[in-house]
Structure 1
Amino acid sequence: MSEMSRNPAQSWAAAGSPRPIVIIGGGSIVTDAHLPAYRMAGLPVAGVFDLDAERTRAVAAEWDITPYASLEEATATENAVFDLALPPVAHQGVIEQLPEGAPALLQKPMGRNLAEATAILQACRAKKLTAAVNFQLRFSPMMLAIHDLYKSGALGQLVDVELHANTMTPWHLWAFLKGMERVEILLHSIHYLDLMRHFLGDPAGIHAKTLGHPDTTVSQSRTAAILDYPAPVRAVLSVNHNHDFGPKFQDCYFRFEGTEGVSITTLGVNLDYPKGVPDELWFCARGGQWQQIPLSGTWFPHAFIGVMNNLQRFVTGEDETLVTNVEDAWKTMALVEAAYESSARPATPIKEKP
């Protein structure tokens, strides 16, 4: 096992002079991931604003930050990076009230459909924002490590990429999902589609089917998809959020198999959610033995450090690329839209016996 294989990169470089972060939105994702990640990394948070004034005060008190009384007060913070931890329907209205040229990080997804994603993109362009979307799975320790292995040549040419999830997800924790037309791909598997784009580039198309389950009230909770890449690449995902038969056969893993090596990682947060289990990362070179690579952190909350550091460093010129910029994120939204369109089309019928 090479030195690179033993010690692939698992974190994004810290910003040298980070700007103060102003968080718009105070929901559970903020207290469970954003704020713990920023405190862990020493990133300065100026304050928070939520439409619910009581929530604003509670979050601010718990994390010792400023509770803004209005969106106008929050957006008046000088030299700030704006963290929009909002539902997709709220993004455009807030973007239009940000200072021109401001840096901003938008919670995924980038709208509820491609039309909204396009409007958000145009709003960011009109405001000349330096804007990224929080596709933070790319920045998780496990995925940074696999991407480092891939770029180093340890995997060779990628020929097979698979996401498999067979879990029990407690959809009742998110009451706002009931009645939403789009759920599973838009809010969950979007991460996996975005990650496949990150490694493999844009596919020519997608074959997908997404549907619900008798035991859940959300519109979709199961998805199967095949992304269309040129041979010899096969890229697939199979997601079932309704395996309610105990933990024995639950799983959630990504497999990146190449001509020279293969890496498999467990996405632990999806198992026994929200408690989760530890992420795992394994690597095997062709002809070698499987080796476990110790991980320095988890998807939640450590990945949220990387995506914010990248934005902060891009603003100061320390990073040349804004990895999840809104122009790139729009392409992930286009892939999501194509998946829903594919699911809505009838399958190719099987010929009748003559």
Structure 2
Amino acid sequence: MIDLFAEISEECRLAIPAAHHRGIAVIGAGGIVEGAHLPAYARAGLPIMGITDLDAARAQRVAEAFGIPRVYGSVEHLLADPAVEVVDIAVPAAAQPAIFRAAIAAGKHVLAQKPFALDPETAVELSGRAAEAGLVAAVNQQMRYDEGIAAAHRMVEKGWIGAITGFSITVNLATPWELWPWAQPMERLEVMVHSIHYHDVVRWFLGEPESVYAVGGRTPGQIPVGETRTATTYRYASGAIAVVHANHVNRGEDNYAEFRIDGADGAIRGTIGLLYDYPDGRTDTLEVRSRTLPTDGWVPYPVTQRWIPDAFIGTMGSVLDAIATGSTPLTSVADNVRTIDLIDAIYRSMNDNSVVGLSG
């Protein structure tokens, strides 16, 4: 198992070759940039040439903290700089599309924070603009690069547990919504800004479902306007099922975040370490039990990287690799259109109390 795990670990290793470096500037200097984007890029040895934010003083402070040489006075000034080749857009969801359009019009490659669009029609439009311009555009669905999830995906690809029959993600948290004032008035909240990661990961493992059914709700005394607890079930043509259950107002003080993947020849289970003491987090845990290897009971895989900040190396690295080699980013906007389709179907199911079908 040591050799097999070493192979998985190498395939999940996150690095950005110096030959792939480009002129990168960041739009947004909020908490996710300061706590995840920029620490990840620093860890990968990736230089950032500039930053801008509506709060100029904050942008200046973040620039000084991370050795960023230039603070742009506006998005327009940043996009007008010919030295900027890649734009890292990290702003609230409602502001994403306009900046995305402007970046593509300026000839910049894009890494857009999730969700990069709030509805399928806008997602298709933005994806089409990037494709027509011949520019690389990806979405920061970086949970695909979280080592616990990425290693599990490689185990499935290698056939360690056979065909997937079930996938569940369950989180029960006391989420500090006060950290995100921009999210508090959103009517579509939990799925759109948090569980979108889980739903994107389910798609990555299992593809497009035949249908989904979802419920969502609030709890007395919560800060946000939108839903803070949701449960979604998926049905697949193969007979596989998936469940995503998230509660963000856990008053029991027993936070947990777990996932399990069942297969015809084994199973994988783990925890999402970031969510146990967010935002500091911890490494994930991951275990596999396989008839095909075979394992002697449940065997732990040694996770060493973290969702924050390490996984953010993966999403930016995939954009830079695509620019350098012509590859397609794992989280391309073209792929993420289907995630936005799925999120929209989940909300339609909640609103109508109905099973919603999706095209394959």
TM superposition score normalised by structure 2: 0.90
Alpha-carbon distance in 1 for matches of 2:334, 2:66: 33
User: In the alignment, does 2:216 pair up with 1:210?
Assistant: yes
Pick one of 149, 152, 162 that aligns with 1:156.
Answer: 162
User: In the alignment, does 2:79 pair up with 1:71?
Assistant: no
Pick one of 320, 324, 334 that aligns with 2:341.
Answer: 334
User: In the alignment, does 2:323 pair up with 1:315?
Assistant: yes
Higher alpha-carbon deviation: 183-192 or 235-244: 235-244
Instruction: Within 5 Å, give how 1:1-354 maps onto structure 2.
Output: 1=1, 3-5=3-5, 7-8=7-8, 9-15=11-17, 16-65=19-68, 66-75=70-79, 76-78=81-83, 80-98=85-103, 100-125=106-131, 127-218=133-224, 219-247=226-254, 250-286=255-291, 288-317=296-325, 320-346=327-353
Alpha-carbon distance in 2 for matches of 1:2, 1:206: 39
Asked whether the equivalents of residues 4 and 149 of structure 1 are also in contact (C-alpha less than 8 Å), the reply is no
Shift of 1:129: 2.7
Alpha-carbon distance in 1 for matches of 2:270, 2:6: 15
Shift of 1:277: 3.5
The code of the aligned residue for 1:223 comes to T
Shift of 1:2: 6.7
Alpha-carbon distance in 2 for matches of 1:231, 1:31: 42
Shift of 1:125: 4.0
State the secondary structure of the residue aligned to 2:335.
helix
The code of the aligned residue for 1:3 comes to D
Higher alpha-carbon deviation: 157-166 or 119-128: 119-128
The code of the aligned residue for 1:38 comes to Y
Asked whether the equivalents of residues 101 and 130 of structure 1 are also in contact (C-alpha less than 8 Å), the reply is no
Asked whether the equivalents of residues 282 and 306 of structure 2 are also in contact (C-alpha less than 8 Å), the reply is no
Query: What is the identity percentage for the equivalent residue pairs of Structure 1 and Structure 2?
Result: 33
Alpha-carbon distance in 2 for matches of 1:126, 1:259: 42
Alpha-carbon distance in 2 for matches of 1:134, 1:105: 6
After superposition, give the CA deviation of every residue in 1:176-227 in whole Å (9 maximum; x if it has no partner).
Answer: 2222110000001110110011111111221111111113132111111111
Q: What 5-or-longer segments of structure 1 have no aligned partner?
A: 349-354
Tell me: CA distance 1:6–1:159, structure 2 relative to 1, closer, same or farther (3 Å): farther
Alpha-carbon distance in 2 for matches of 1:168, 1:37: 26
Question: RMSD in angstroms over aligned alpha carbons?
Answer: 1.9
Asked whether the equivalents of residues 186 and 336 of structure 1 are also in contact (C-alpha less than 8 Å), the reply is yes
The code of the aligned residue for 1:72 comes to E
The code of the aligned residue for 1:246 comes to E
Shift of 1:19: 0.8
Alpha-carbon distance in 1 for matches of 2:281, 2:304: 16
Tell me: CA distance 1:22–1:292, structure 2 relative to 1, closer, same or farther (3 Å): same
Tell me: CA distance 1:256–1:2, structure 2 relative to 1, closer, same or farther (3 Å): farther
Shift of 1:6: 5.5
State the secondary structure of the residue aligned to 2:102.
coil
State the secondary structure of the residue aligned to 2:49.
strand
Alpha-carbon distance in 2 for matches of 1:94, 1:181: 22
Asked whether the equivalents of residues 95 and 124 of structure 1 are also in contact (C-alpha less than 8 Å), the reply is no
- Correspondence for 1:352: none
- Correspondence for 2:358: none
After superposition, give the CA deviation of every residue in 1:288-336 in whole Å (9 maximum; x if it has no partner).
Answer: 321211112111111000111111011100x633111111101100000
Shift of 1:231: 3.5
Shift of 1:86: 1.3
Q: How many residues align?
A: 345
Shift of 1:157: 0.9
Shift of 1:251: 1.4
Asked whether the equivalents of residues 214 and 349 of structure 2 are also in contact (C-alpha less than 8 Å), the reply is yes
Tell me: CA distance 1:231–1:173, structure 2 relative to 1, closer, same or farther (3 Å): same
Alpha-carbon distance in 1 for matches of 2:282, 2:331: 27
Shift of 1:5: 4.1
State the secondary structure of the residue aligned to 2:22.
coil
Q: What 5-or-longer segments of structure 2 have no aligned partner?
A: 356-360
Alpha-carbon distance in 2 for matches of 1:77, 1:27: 25
